[in-house]
Chains A and B, each alone.
Chain A
Amino acid sequence: MILAQETPPLFDWDWVARNWDQIIDRTWEHVTLTVVSVAIGMVLSLGLSIIALRWRRAYAPITWVTGLLYTIPSLALFALLVPIVGLNATNAVIALTSYTLLILIRNTVAGIDGVPASVVEAADGMGYTRRARFWKMEVPLALPAIVAGVRIATVTTVGLVTVTAVLGLGGYGFFILRGLNTFFWTQIIVGVSLSVALATVFDLSFVWAQRWLTPWARGVG
């Protein structure tokens, strides 16, 4: 067929074999950006959730501001940060972290609110301080909801990291972007598939982590 000679192959396995080192590098960049952003997001959101739980009036403004941040498209947020922090990993981490906050805070607050009042009373009756009750009773019991939030935030972040390639930060988006500019489909397919695969790996590891962290829930339900 003449057409087959003219059009390049849709997927070039040789390219994958030749560029194995690069794929490893891009994976490392993608994983680092994701982990750093979600980790900072978790610390910030835990602090903000504690504030929201302690002072209920703060909850509405916190979700309003984080909701506003969540609405701003990623490319625009990266761009807005350029005059402030420049074109670097800090820019990407600030933007990516800000996208995790809404999901994480909502789930944490809902999870802690979902702890039965009887459990809280039992803890108080056993002489737990407010702090001990929070860390030893409420947080563990809210873990399923908190982990659910972390899963959504992480999977979303893996997807958003592909866009950081426009900042020149690498990651799988680098392959997608270069594939688009050179009409080399293999790179696009590699970039998108690896991103989906990475999101799945993260998601499954959280499922396992949750089983390990909540031994009391195993075999129940």
Chain B
Amino acid sequence: MAWDSIQEFLNDPATWSGPGSIWNRLGEHLWVSVAAVVLAAVLVLPLALWLGHIRKGSDIATAVVNIGRAVPSFGILAISFLILVQMGAGVGEPWAVLVALVALAAPPMFTNTVAGIQSVEPATIEAARGMGLTETQVLKGVEIPLAMPLVLEGVRIGLVQVIATATLGALVAWGGLGRFIVDGFAQQDVGQLVVGAVLVGLLAIVAELAMSQLGRAVAPKGVTNPR
């Protein structure tokens, strides 16, 4: 039953070509997720780096995390859709999803960057200053490299969250891989449902593993325990 339905869905030519194909949906899912993370990084990293450098902002970071956790990501998506439609955006356009995803990716990146920069030992920074490095050089040459694993951990959390929530984009009339799941539910098509779910799950796991690998790769040599 479930298996037959899966085979039927996989044998359907529309699954592999056209606007509703797996490739097209995967492409939509990926570009919106990556764009959201890049936009969030551009928006919050400069502020977070600066706050970390002057050793302030940990209270803001904690507040951001606590508030962010209480607001459901589905809720952020729905509110973002509501606001953009009120402002005149077309239904089915990706903008509401993109805005919601930027809002979701930003908090973990902000918090981890502030925490990462602040976790650099004061003695290390003193040594760098004592060697005559300017504040910019301290930030670029010492604090950022040492904070990199934690910063990337923030990016990883943000990216995985974004990929998960982009799936819900199908509930606000957008595409992405969630389209298969939402349509699968609506049409009681178990094949479409399961294939969509497996694709989304795999994408999230691949993103998670890739980012963890990257996080390990950027740790400066000699730093064994970045925390």
Q: Which residues of A contact B (CB under 8 A)?
A: 7, 10, 68, 71-77, 79-80, 82-83, 87, 152, 155-156, 158-160, 162-163, 166-167, 173, 176-177, 179-180, 183, 185, 188-189, 191-192, 195-196, 199-200, 203
What is the distance, in angstroms, from A63's C-beta to the closest C-beta of chain B?
A: 13
Contact A162-B81, Cβ < 8 Å, known A73-B167, A79-B194, A177-B171: no
Most buried by B among A68, A71, A87, A156: A71
| Interface assignment of B10: CB less than 8 Å from any CB of chain A | no
Q: Is the CB of A191 within 8 A of B75?
A: yes
Is there contact, CB below 8 Å, between A192 and B75? Answer: yes
> Helix, strand, loop or mixed for chain B's interface?
helix
CB distance from A163 to the nearest CB of B (A): 5
Q: Which residues of B contact A163 (CB under 8 A)?
A: 72, 74, 168
Chain B positions within 8 Å of A82 at CB level: 190, 193-194
Known contacts: A68-B205, A73-B164, A73-B167. The answer to whether A80 contacts B74 by CB under 8 A is no
Verify B201–A72 contact, CB threshold 8 A.
Answer: yes
Given contacts A7-B86, A79-B196, 5 further A-B contacts (CB under 8 A): A159-B70, A159-B71, A166-B185, A183-B85, A192-B72
Q: Does B30 contact A (CB under 8 A)?
A: no
Query: Which B residues are CB-close (under 8 A) to A158?
Result: 70, 72
The answer to whether B74 touches A179 (Cβ under 8 A) is no
Give the chain B neighbours of A7 by CB distance below 8 A. Answer: 86
Contacts known (A79-B194, A82-B190); A73 close to B72, Cβ less than 8 A: no
Binds A, one of B40-48, B110-118, B176-184: B176-184
B197 at the interface (CB under 8 A from A): yes
Taking a contact as CB atoms under 8 Å apart, the answer to whether B198 and A80 are in contact is yes
12 A-B pairs within 8 Å (CB atoms) are namely A76-B181, A76-B196, A76-B201, A77-B197, A79-B193, A159-B73, A180-B78, A188-B79, A191-B78, A195-B72, A196-B70, A199-B69
